[in-house]
Amino acid sequence: MGRSLKNLLCSALVLCLLISQVGLSSIKAHATGETVLRYGITGMSISFNPLTSYSYTMIRSILYATLFAYNETWGMEPWGAEYAKQIDPLTIEIKLRDDWYWHDGKPVTSYDYKFTWELLLKYPCAQTRFVKAVSSIDIINDKVFRVHLKSPMGGYLPFLTGVCVAVPKHIWEPKGLTNESALTYENIPPIGNGPFKFVEYKPGEYILFEAFDKFFAGKPKIDKLMVVIFSSMDAMVNALRTGGIDVVSNVPMSVAIELMKDPNLYVSLAEIPSYRSIYVNQYPGKAGHPALDDLTVRKAIAMCIDKEGINEAIHPGFTVGFTPIPRYWPMFNPEVQNIWPKYDPKAAGDLLESADYKDTDGDGIREDPKSGKPLRFRYWVYNSYPEELRAAEFIRDSLRQAGMDVEIRGMEAVLWDYVVSKPYDWDLAQWGWTVHDPISCWFPYTSDAIPAGWSSSGYHNPEFDQLYNSLLNATNYNEFLEAQYKLQKHFAENLVEFILYHESYPSVWNVKWTGFSNKPCGVFWYGFNSRTFNDVHLVGVTEVAKGMNWNLVVGVIAGAIIVIAVIAIILIRRKGKRAQPTAT
Amino acid sequence: MIKAFIMIILGAVFSFILFRILPGDPAKALTGDPRLPLETKKVVFKMFGLDRPLHEQLFIFICNLLTGNLGISFQYKLPVSQILMEKLTNTLILLIPATVLSMLLGIFMGLIAGLFNGKLIDKIITSIATLFWSTPSFWGGMVAITIFAINMRLFPPGGMLSFYGASPSLSNIGDLLWHLFLPMLTYGIIFSGQYTLILRNSLVEVLTEDFIKMAKAKGHTDFEVVMKYALRNASLGLVSMIGINVGYILLGSITIESVFNWPGIGRLLYDAVFYNDYPLLQGIFILFIIVMVASMLVVDILYSYLDPRVRIK
């Protein structure tokens, strides 16, 4: 072998060795024994303002505790509150726990709740709907306050649970956050009172929390919780499969089924009171299809929706829905299952025929006898959920059998929000709601919801409004239950919206972790309570697993590139030398 | 330079108007609440000057732009310039090595193919290059992740560092390189296809020129003829293409950064569009314009260096 070639190869090997030593042990490990749970989410902007943030209530549940929390059977149990007792139908007395502290060490007091709720009532925003029934708050002492209600609500108080939390008055008030400025306050760093304290937020990348040792339910078993933000579902799932993160809770069912095959992952299904439905444009003065105001047409459409079939094909594990109240809640009215029209596209066609909706031009689509418009509806569907697009196609096929049709338009959330909530120029739109409690879930279907910007279908019916008021004015549980049953019956009989299903959310975690509080609604990104991560710990492992030996990888690759390049250069030079004429 | 400056200002004005006529509600980005009541929304808009007439908002925007002030992001409540610098750094960490790799690989393959024009190796390289160039970057990324990250567990499927919370520095450069490898390779391979084909075709044409025959007649080896004479002439088209691609690559970073969860400008742009974050959108748009204008200027300068027949007066 030529000397120059030997030198070249030696140099390549030395370079390779050097490169492989780069960054030796450079992974900055966390402190010895520190456990960090990495929770993956997909999404965009995160807001730490607990008053206005609509999405990512899971973040709020990590930072804050509610007065009450749901237990495994959807009953309410005291959590941050020691008790809530009814003094009279319109007065509730609440006592806060003595050992409930803010993350800065100050105690949570009645003044915090009075400050927060008065702010919500004066400057309406996302959380206002949970305290709408509050008339005023009287402070008895630091830990006890009385809430005066506008209506009794049968003892079911939405502001006790769900997402309604308080902000620290001793921090917000000195900053002048006593008016509209509170709504745009970024609240970084947030001072909460939940199981985890805020440490760091890197926009678009992660949020880091650490366990709060003074939390009343005990310090969480993990030292840190990192919420890792991914731009796409695929990237998040890949990270879970390769150990980059430890738990996710918002993957589609189709993905969860695939992940079940991975022995390193555990998939847990939990019913959540979040439903998908098809909104029907009934806004007053709307630009939507006039035939949708006719109950006969809505009934025919309902008869073309095969909920069981869609669930089986697209959403295995979901629960068929009829009204906002899920079937597994104690106040569910079983009668609605028989009221809701059965799937029968042929019968739907006959129904329309008998109501004079005939196909006059022979194109297979019936026309509205009053307006002459064909029963062809614009159907907006969120692009972010491909399974919903599939469901829409199922429905379209059945509608065509009955002589109706839909133009399915998938669109991004921004455009969907704009079209559905502003010009009302749509016919059907598919989305849904999360049911935080059995009272506020009915508000979007009242006439008052329209000017408040909370209506989905623009439904406005005085009878429904009256039933809703009777729910709010229920003085005991029996009256409350009776009002619930009537609301559900009205909803089903009038087909206010086409509720498709209540979701079952798969939560997936690495089997090296255990202790997730999976009930009542899983490790769910809408976080119903702050106990989700309290008992999570590693199974018999005290350190985070190390990554692979990237030194070796980098070195091998660097060496291979250099060797290939060297060989190529040698070959080219040899070719050149052979071609050179020799002197004679 | 004056033309470049005018182009940037015009682009900024265009972006200002464009993002304001797009549907969506900036109140969502400002408060995180998509269903803010109208009265509250009016108050919020007043706080951020969004209630002023458009021409007034535009005037304020241009004045701020001339002083380098890109405003405050509605989502992050941080200066736009600060966010852009951080994310741009992350994007450049990915794009610079990827571009260099694509150039080196493209030149290397183009050189071999051009030298062995008509032979089997030329046909193989040309086919491979065409395949690379026609592969969508997001698909290439997903295939790379599936094979090398999920199945073979050789590389991480995404992210910039193993431990979120760390920042790139000399102490964790190895970890950074480990994470960088797959996206860089994906990007580099896909873009190398274009460079291979351009260089190969240029080289084939240049190698038939008279001055090449003269160089051979003088006694230069094939290697010397190619490296000293042919490559420089053949690279003119390549240089132009690289300059054009700089802006294209920056825009294309959206797909690569989403697939590999790389925290760069591409992901930032996607988030900003979703939330109608006007200041951030405008900032990113202006950045793209500046990058495009700057890259074309650099190409012009480089071109005049490579080709003495073209000189900037």
Residue B70 · residue A488 · CB < 8 Å: no
* A41–chain B nearest CA distance, Å: 12
Residues of chain A neighbouring B284 (CB-CB closer than 8 A): none
- List the A144-149 sheet strands across, edge first: A81-88, A91-96, A144-149, A134-139
Residue B287 · residue B265 · CB < 8 Å: yes
Q: Is A126's CB within 8 Å of B115's CB?
A: no
Query: What are the distances in angstroms from CA A487 to CA A30, A274, A308, A456, B40?
Result: 54, 18, 24, 17, 31
Containing A280, the helix (H) or strand (E) segment is strand A265-280
> Who's near B46: CB < 8 A, 6+ residues apart?
none
List the one residue out of A135, A301, A246, A323 whose CA is nearest residue A545. Answer: A246
Note the maximum CA span of chain B: 85
Residue in A205, A224, A240, A421 to test binding to B, most B beta-carbons within 10 Å: A205
- pLDDT, averaged across chain B: 82
Q: Is A568's CB within 8 Å of B108's CB?
A: yes
Q: How many CB atoms lie within 10 A of CB A574?
A: 11
- Mode of pairing for the β-strands spanning A428-434 and A376-382: parallel
pLDDT score of A525: 46
Dihedral (CA of A261, A262, A264, A267) sign: negative
Q: Which residue among B32, B271, B277 sits closest to A47, beta carbon to beta carbon? A: B32
Amino acid identity at A188: I
Q: Which residue among A203, A238, A573 sits closest to B223, beta carbon to beta carbon? A: A573
pLDDT score of A27: 36
Bond before A506 cis per omega within 30 degrees: no
pLDDT score of A583: 46
d(CA A374, CA A57): 43
pLDDT score of B21: 73
pLDDT score of A511: 93
Residue B41 · residue B29 · CB < 8 Å: no
Q: Is A242's CB within 8 Å of B261's CB?
A: no
Residue A154 · residue A474 · CB < 8 Å: yes
CB within 8 Å of chain B, chain A residues 526-565:
547-548, 550-551, 553-554, 557, 565
Both structure tokens of B238: 């390549």
Q: How many residues does chain B have?
A: 313
Containing A266, the helix (H) or strand (E) segment is strand A265-280
Residues of chain B neighbouring A22 (CB-CB closer than 8 A): 173-174, 177
pLDDT score of A551: 55
Residue B250 · residue B207 · CB < 8 Å: no
Query: What are the distances in angstroms from CA B4 to CA B11, B17, B290, B294?
Result: 10, 20, 8, 8
List the one residue out of B168, B148, B167 whose CA is nearest residue B260. Answer: B148
Residues of chain A neighbouring B158 (CB-CB closer than 8 A): 230, 235, 238-239, 244
d(CA B27, CA A276): 25
d(CA A487, CA B180): 57
d(CA A84, CA A196): 25
Q: Is B24's CB within 8 Å of A417's CB?
A: yes
Q: Which residue among B145, B171, B178 sits closest to A553, beta carbon to beta carbon? A: B178
Both structure tokens of B211: 């001055």
Q: Is A27's CB within 8 Å of B163's CB?
A: yes
pLDDT score of A93: 93
Bond before B156 cis per omega within 30 degrees: no
Q: How many CB atoms lie within 10 A of CB A542?
A: 10
Q: Which residue among B78, B145, B164 sits closest to A205, beta carbon to beta carbon? A: B164
φ and ψ at residue B281, rounded to 5 degrees: -60, -45
Q: Is B276's CB within 8 Å of A412's CB?
A: no
Q: Is A238's CB within 8 Å of B25's CB?
A: no
Q: Which residue among A29, A125, A421 sits closest to B31, beta carbon to beta carbon? A: A125
d(CA B280, CA B272): 6
List the one residue out of B293, B295, B243, B282 whose CA is nearest residue B84. Answer: B282
pLDDT score of B58: 84
Query: What are the distances in angstroms from CA A199 to CA A191, A205, A538, B128, B154?
Result: 10, 14, 22, 49, 32
Residue A472 · residue A153 · CB < 8 Å: yes
CB pairs under 8 A between A and B: 218
Q: How many CB atoms lie within 10 A of CB A415?
A: 17
> Who's near B307: CB < 8 A, 6+ residues apart?
B236
Residues of chain A neighbouring B178 (CB-CB closer than 8 A): 547, 550, 553-554
- pLDDT by 10-residue block (mean), chain A, 584 residues: 61 59 40 78 76 68 86 79 89 95 97 94 80 90 94 73 82 92 84 94 88 94 91 87 87 85 89 86 82 94 94 84 89 93 95 95 93 93 80 94 93 68 78 81 90 83 94 88 96 94 87 80 55 80 47 66 76 67 47
d(CA B31, CA B37): 12
Using N-to-C axis directions, what is the helix angle for B231-259 and B80-115, rounded to 10°?
Answer: 130
Residue recorded with tokens 């920042």: B167
d(CA B239, CA B307): 11
Q: Where in chain B does DSSP place strands (E)?
A: none
B236-289 confidence digits (pLDDT tens): 778 777 777 777 777 767 888 888 888 888 888 887 877 778 888 888 888 888
Both structure tokens of B47: 């706080």
d(CA A464, CA B123): 74
DSSP 8-state symbol, B111: H
Residue in A17, A28, A384, A419 to test binding to B, most B beta-carbons within 10 Å: A28
* B275–chain A nearest CA distance, Å: 7
Q: Provide the H-helix boundaries in B116-221.
A: 120-134, 137-144, 173-206, 210-217
Q: Is A204's CB within 8 Å of B181's CB?
A: no
List the one residue out of A315, A388, A306 whose CA is nearest residue A344. Answer: A306
Q: Does the pLDDT of residue B102 top 70, yes or no?
A: yes
Q: Which residue among A27, A204, A454 sits closest to B35, beta carbon to beta carbon? A: A454
pLDDT score of A579: 55
Q: What is the percent of chain B with per-residue pLDDT over 70, rounded to a whole number?
A: 88
* A47–chain B nearest CA distance, Å: 6
Q: Which of A301-305, B36-40, B91-95, B217-221 has the highest mean pLDDT?
A: A301-305
Q: Is B40's CB within 8 Å of A412's CB?
A: no
Residues of chain A neighbouring B83 (CB-CB closer than 8 A): 203
Using a 10 angstrom Cβ sphere, with 0-12 exposed, 13-18 middle and 19 or more buried, the burial of residue A559 is middle
pLDDT score of A584: 44
d(CA A8, CA A27): 33
CB within 8 Å of chain B, chain A residues 127-166:
none
Q: Which residue among B153, B174, B221 sits closest to A576, beta carbon to beta carbon? A: B221
pTM score = 0.79
pLDDT score of A98: 97
Q: CA angle B136-B137-B140, nearest 5°?
A: 90
Please check whether residue A383 touches B, CB under 8 A. no
Please check whether residue A425 touches B, CB under 8 A. no
Q: Provide the H-helix boundaries in B118-172.
A: 120-134, 137-144
Residue A343 · residue A304 · CB < 8 Å: yes
3-state secondary structure A419-438: HHHCCCCCCEEEEEEECCCC
Residue recorded with tokens 């925007």: B61
> Who's near B4: CB < 8 A, 6+ residues apart?
B293, B294, B297
Q: Is A124's CB within 8 Å of B37's CB?
A: yes
Q: Is A553's CB within 8 Å of B154's CB?
A: yes
B108-158 confidence digits (pLDDT tens): 999 899 888 889 999 999 999 999 989 888 889 999 999 999 888 888 888
d(CA A370, CA A392): 27
Q: Which residue among B43, B157, B164 sits closest to A228, beta carbon to beta carbon? A: B164
Please check whether residue A123 touches B, CB under 8 A. yes
Amino acid identity at A393: E
pLDDT score of A505: 77
d(CA B72, CA A3): 63
The interface predicted TM-score of the complex, written ipTM, equals 0.78
